[in-house]
Amino acid sequence: MAKKRTIRSIPQGRTPMVERPAAERARDFAEVTCGYTLDEAVRESERCLFCPDEPCVRGCPVGIDIPGFIRQIGEGDVRGAYDVLTGTTLLPAICGRVCPQETQCEGVCTVGQSLEPVAIGRLERFVGDRAIAEGWSSRPDIEPCAFTVAIVGSGPAGMACAADLAKAGCAVTVFEAFQQPGGVLRYGIPDFRLPNEVVDAEIAKLTRLGITFRCNTVIGRLFTLDQLVGEMGFDAVFIGVGAGAPTFADIPGESLNGVISANELLTRCNLMRAREFPERDTPLGVGRRVAVIGAGNTAMDAMRVCLRLGAEEVLCVYRRSRDEAPARAEELHHAEQEGITFHWLTDPVEILDDGKRGVRGLRCQRMELGEPDASGRRRPVPVPGSEIELECDTVVFAIGTNANPILGQTAKLRLDKRGYIEVDEELATSMQGVFAGGDIVTGAATVIEAMGAGRRAAAAMKRYLGLADPDVPYAPAGDAGLFGFAADQRDHARVRVA
Amino acid sequence: MSVADVAYDIVGREDFSDVTYLLEIREPDLARAARPGQFVIVMSHPEGERVPLTIADFDRDRGTITLVIQAMGKTTREMQAGLRPGSSLYALVGPLGRPSEIGTAKTVVCVGGGLGVAPIYPQARALKERGAYVIGVIGFRNKTLVFWEDKFRAVCDEFIICSDDGSVGIKGLVTDGIKQATAAHPDIDELIAIGPPIMMRGCAEVTRALGIHTVVSLNPIMVDGTGMCGGCRVKVGGRTRFACVDGPEFDAHQVDFDDLMFRLARFKPEEKIALERWQQGCRIESAPSVP
């Protein structure tokens, strides 16, 4: 590299990413942001200082070598950047789009202390998209081993875990309940934010690693966990089924027609393509004035989906203020641009019946912020005598999820008191050989956190199976133990035969 | 995409009437896992909707499950028109829901109304195999709609058939059959009823007065069938429950049937559009071409 970059010498502003105008995009399902061109990516890469302490790497839940891939972009070597990225993450086209970068890598970027941080997410997406367009895949030389592994759930946690274990030579089968794989990436995140073709491309990459996807298969129903590790002979199992069960607020009127969960809305729209009804058979039933309760990413997705389905007005009803909204900054910004009406500090107390068991409105209570609560956010408290009525014909609940009960009903898995699966520091559950990670362990979180959990579980499963971790250089242990088995291996009975 | 292909081949079909038909589908893993009271979700083609259907029978030796379907809306009529032995379903997922508790009751009434005769059958059989005294009460609108009478009779110690018009068995509703059974047997421990919601509500009213524990199987609108969408929420004992993972069977005396019926009507306008459009398409396709 020529001259050392300083905060003064780099391009001061972040390279903008072309966005389709709000008025145009808010009525269709094509992607909102257009991605960088090579020139734009190279220019943005020049904003990285390659600072020695690399806070961005520590800010990334999976520890991507961010300066490493940015350096390759700067040299015009996009393929090289892809190889650096895929050393750590599998799904750059997805994570570049859906990670909350502002609270992760970009949130701690050194440049960000004085200027706008380097647009790491956009650069990652640029590389991921180029890889899909060019058909690159980084298929490593896989040395097969004798182990078979089952992955329950084909969402981000399962995908990441499957990939790492496939690379280690395991024969991996991923079980998915729906008719198509991808989990929340398929049924949850809408096309305008994450096109289905991107999910298809990333799944195709996994199948090229030798991973088998078996759809229409509910573990806990078609096969129990005991069957997987017993008669079906899987040497290890990873559970990444997500949190799943939608929460309602337990207020009057919730069973009225026109009241649905964001999960249902998004699944009908994204997976079942209800937006193409009656070309497709699945109906949707979203009205003209929609109130979405909640202000997380799922709520933003639900609101923007409703706009695109032709709703005249979409309201966001959230009991805290904008500052506490859990959505990714870019999603909130896009929702505002597209004309969502926000009712901050507004808590729904009753859904009003139109007399025909449909919805005519939402009665709400105004709130103000009090003392910080357990989450560190200021607790909303009701303002006496401040009830308002919002007119709407559809109410969508996007206030989080609970643990899905199916596995707990059908296996002797230890659960915590809220129904999530208990794991130890190795992500091992109470069942021998069964690991778990992602939302079914932590409660609702992000795609990248689920991927991180999937990768951590894969590493633990490799240790459990006695597979060498290719990422760790070989070093003879001080006490190799009897017959070369390290004493800290979890299962002394297993012998690696391949 | 190299996603593992599991075939869901139709291996048998029987037409009970103009509107009711049976499909036997080969899926050995599902046949093995299925228990009485559970259901499946089918998609007949990739553009189709996910339709929940209660499992009517399963044969572990043949590796098949049986569904009995009533051609009512677009999808079930399209399946009736198109599915034959040799064709296959695009997707079949299950068994879903919690299996029935076959329990320890000594004298049990199994009530099936119309299409509900099919899913109550495996329960009657399981109860009989367990040694319970099984009283079967089945009802149809008229004689032409009757199916599985002999099959059902074979697993019952007593059998009562009713029809709305009296063309077969006693003239009246299944609730009349239930009253006949309860009058003869004061020792009935349990009643299980599957059929249209209005019928199940009627059964619940009869047994409530007599203090007989009563179980019904609910089939609300749902998408995934795995607890994820919340579309199938029902009110049971004042609490919101998800029929797909908490049910589909619930204590009939706790179920809010009015709520269930209103929620079942949720997509009435869309169902009408889909059906009319499909019927129009059929006419166009079958119309002779104009020379």
What are the residue ranges spanned by the domains of chain A? 22-134, 148-244+403-465, 254-401
Q: Show which of residues 18-57 on chain A sit within 8 Å of chain B, judged by CB atoms.
A: none
Q: By the 8 A CB rule, do A300 and A327 touch?
A: yes
On whether any CB of chain A is under 8 Å from the CB of B75, the answer is yes
Q: What is the pLDDT of residue A137?
A: 73
Cα distance between residue B184 and residue B40, in whole Å: 37
- Work out the average pLDDT over A234-253: 91
Closest CA to A152 of A234, A88, A264, A230: A234
Interchain contact A318–B (C-beta under 8 A) = no
Q: Is the pLDDT of residue A23 over 80?
A: yes
Q: Is B101 on the interface with A (CB under 8 A)?
A: no
Share of chain A above pLDDT 90, in %: 54
Q: Which residue from B223, B226, B270 is facing A404, i.e. has the nearest CB?
A: B226
Strand ordering across the sheet containing B39-43: B51-54, B39-43, B91-96
What are the CB-based long-range contacts (under 8 Å, 24+) for B103-107? Answer: B103/B190, B105/B132, B105/B189, B105/B190, B105/B213, B106/B132, B106/B133, B106/B187, B106/B189, B107/B132, B107/B133, B107/B135, B107/B185, B107/B187, B107/B188, B107/B189, B107/B190
| Angstrom distance (rounded) from CA A165 to CA A248 | 37
Sign of CA dihedral A279, A282, A287, A291: negative
pLDDT at residue B159 tops 50: yes
- How is chain B split into domains, by residue range? 3-96, 98-217
Matching CATH number, A254-401, of 3.30.70.100, 3.30.1300.10, 3.50.50.60, 3.40.50.300: 3.50.50.60
Interval A163-187 mean pLDDT: 93
Task: Give the torsion through C-alpha atoms of A346, A351, A353, A356, to 10 deg.
Answer: 120
Q: Which residue of B has its CA nearest to A356?
A: B262
pLDDT band at residue A469 using 50, 70 and 90 as cut-offs: low
A217 and B93: CB-CB below 8 Å? yes
Q: Is B43 on the interface with A (CB under 8 A)?
A: yes
Contact present, B46 and B57 (Cβ < 8 Å): no
CATH class of A148-244+403-465: alpha beta
* Contact between B193 and B172 (Cβ < 8 Å): no
Residue by residue, DSSP assigns B72-96 as: -SHHHHHHHHH--BTBEESEEEEEE
pLDDT score, position B289? 45
**Whole-number mean pLDDT of chain A?**
87
Nearest 5°: phi and psi at B57? -165, 160
- Confidence bin at A496 (pLDDT 50/70/90): very low
Q: Which CATH number fits domain B3-96: 1.10.10.2840, 2.40.30.200, 2.40.30.10, 3.90.226.30?
A: 2.40.30.10
Per DSSP, the residues of A289-339 read: EEEEE--SHHHHHHHHHHHHTT-SEEEEE-SS-GGG--S-HHHHHHHHHTT
Tokens coding A390: 């919002």
pLDDT of residue B283: 56
Tell me the shortest Cα–Cα distance from B249 to chain A, in angstroms: 15
Phi and psi at A248, nearest 5°, equal -110, 170
pLDDT of residue A478: 40
Structure confidence by residue, pLDDT tens digits, A337-368: 999 999 999 999 999 999 999 999 999 999 99
Q: ipTM greater than 0.95, yes or no? A: no
- % of chain A surpassing 70 pLDDT: 93
Residue of A176, A200, A216 for testing the chain B interface, max B β-carbons within 10 Å: A216
| Domain A22-134 identical in fold to domain A254-401 | no
Cβ within 8 Å, pair B1-A282? no
CATH of the domain spanning A22-134 = 1.10.1060.10
Residue A493 — very low, low, confident or very high, per pLDDT cuts 50/70/90?
A: very low
Please calculate the CA angle A464-A465-A469 and round it to the nearest 5 degrees. Answer: 85
Interface touch A222/B47, C-beta < 8 Å:
no
Cβ–Cβ under 8 Å, residues B227 and B242: yes
What is the architecture of the domain spanning B98-217? 3-Layer(aba) Sandwich (3.40)
* Cα separation, A291 vs A336, whole angstroms: 15
The pLDDT-based confidence of B5 (bands split at 50, 70, 90) is: low
Structure tokens at A73: 């972009």
Q: Helix A120-134 and helix A38-45: axis angle, to 10°?
A: 140
* A226 contacts: CB under 8 Å, gap ≥ 6: A411
Q: Note which residues in 256-295 of chain A have CB less than 8 A from chain B.
A: 257, 260-261, 263-264, 267-268, 272-273, 277-285
